[in-house]
Amino acid sequence: MLELPAYLVLGIGTEIGKTFLTCALCKRTPRIKAIKPVLSGFVNDNKSDSSLLLQAMNLEVNFLNLESISPWRFEKPISPNFAGYVDYQKLLEFCKNKINLSIKSQNVLLIEGAGGIMSPINNHKTFIDIAHDLDLPIILVTSNYLGSISHTLCALELIKSKKLKLTKIILNNNYNPPISGAEFINCIQNFYNFEIQEIEDFIKNS
């Protein structure tokens, strides 16, 4: 169960399933809301990540609603520091305001990052800095593609070294993976004694 006012949804890499997870949670539980403040690769249609989040919350896809959840939208599908300019302090203020609204409404807010956990927001800050600066618990989305064990362990070591709050590790099973979900979970748990849930089970129990 997600009981805190806000969480930061980060992935070990891009296209890992962050938006899929966030949308599914919003659809299943109406009190769960979501924002994706920074989005690269934005296309003004109903298939962009921001549009999918709005639809999951039963909101119309229009300019005002897109602005309300994703004010920094860039067309180029590259890391935000190359795609456009993000004022980090304004980004933090935006997130703080949304968290305060969530608290007042007694909702749960999911703040979805863009790309991987260390994707640069600008030339000085990455998405993991948001967790530190806003004291947000992290939901880490991973997968079992070739190379994902190393990527996952690196992400976990980073979270540990920065003394951040890790709430959930969610496994989004890859299509035709080199190892099973169970094998992946056992391997990661040899290094980190932390519960890892497969994405379907987590959504079902949230």
Q: How is 76-87 classified by DSSP, letter by letter? A: SSS-HHHH----
- Nearest to residue 14, comparing CAs of 99, 141, 126, 123? 141
* Rounded (10°) angle between helices 49-56 and 18-28: 10
Q: Which residues partner with 138 through β-bridges?
A: 8, 166
CA distance 80 to 116: 11
Among 18, 36, 98, 125, the active-site one is: 36
- Nearest to residue 98, comparing CAs of 168, 203, 8? 8
CA distance 150 to 116: 14
CA distance 144 to 122: 29
The type of residue at 58 is N
For residue 168, indicate whether it is catalytic. Answer: no
Burial class (CB in 10 A: 0-12, 13-18, 19+), 40: buried
Residue with tokens 């999911």: 110
Catalytic residues: 36
